[in-house]
Amino acid sequence: MAPSSLRVSTPRFWRDARLPFIEARAIDDGRKISYGRHAHETFSIGAVTGGESIYESGRVSQRVGPGAVVLMNPHDVHACNPLDDRPWSYRMLNIDTAWLTSLQHDLGFSHGEGFRAFSTAASWQPELYAGLNRLYATLIDKFADPLQKHSAVIEFIDDAHRWLNPAPAQAKDKSHKLERAVQYIRAHRTRSLSLDEICTAAQLSASYLIRAFKSRYGMTPHAYLVNCRVEFSRAELKRGRPIAEVAADAGFADQAHLHRVFRQLVAATPGQYRG
């Protein structure tokens, strides 16, 4: 591959310590970018700006191209990969869930409840697509000040809620024991966990936990644990911590282990992500 191709395949990240609730990512030629099925602790929304890819969200798989906006609720298992080694490009925003939930309350889209999820996995609304691209351009504009960027984020989220209509508030999940397993994994994600202790915490048999967990979350408890460790690593890398220290603290065997898993789930190396 020519040096120019290597440059455009490198993901670009934007972050600002003054706006810690949002980060942006872009790739100009993602034909070599491959994601394993994964989930984010953040709410994520992205625009496909070129080429085509297959977007998988839950049990739904669909083809998306320029003009498409894809949405990922926190902890939704998903993947998006190019078609047949063809060029494709996208822009993605990751927004802190707690911050967004508070904003939803302020905007009147949720009344004292938790995060109001979106039922739409992909949208072709031109207003949403144009709005997301305008916001991305504002965020990366070195001449725009934090007030302008912060205001633009809120304006876009307000508009997006009106355009998309979040899913109606759901009754509490009857499978509260599965949620207990998830909470236990998150709370102890940086240490070695056994299946027995997760089952004990959730008060579920191993056979039921494996089957129900994969049906509900799209991955095994172990895969979810690894995903949680990657999310922990992302947060620590944003603080500028040494990669080797992050790998150890996150529960990975070594820096190479973190590098391999991080690249599989984030489609970037830890060094690229830290910047």
Neighbours of 211 (CB within 10 A): 11
Percent of the chain with pLDDT over 90: 53
> Phi and psi dihedrals of 140, rounded to 5?
-90, -5
Give the three-state DSSP class for 253. Answer: coil
Q: Which residues pair with 92 in a beta bridge?
A: 25, 46
CA–CA gap between residue 235 and residue 189 (Å, rounded): 14
Q: Report H helices in the chain.
A: 3-9, 97-107, 126-140, 146-164, 176-187, 195-202, 206-217, 221-238, 243-250, 255-266, 270-274
Q: What is the pTM of this model?
A: 0.73
Residue 107 confidence (pLDDT)? 82
> Which one is the CATH code of 3-164: 1.10.1060.10, 1.10.3720.10, 2.115.10.20, 2.60.120.10?
2.60.120.10
Could you tell me which of 72, 112, 91 has the C-alpha nearest to residue 11?
91
183 residue type, one letter: Q
- Which residue ranges does the chain devote to CATH 1.10.10.60? 176-274
Residue 148 in tokens: 């302008």
Percent of the chain with pLDDT over 70: 92
CATH classification code of 176-274: 1.10.10.60
Pairing of strands 122-123, 69-72: antiparallel
Label residue 166 by pLDDT band (50, 70, 90).
Answer: low
Residue 93 confidence (pLDDT)? 98
Could you tell me which of 195, 263, 255, 246 has the C-alpha nearest to residue 224?
195
What DSSP character marks residue 38?
B
**What stretch of H or E contains 64?**
strand 60-64
- Which residue ranges does the chain devote to CATH 2.60.120.10? 3-164
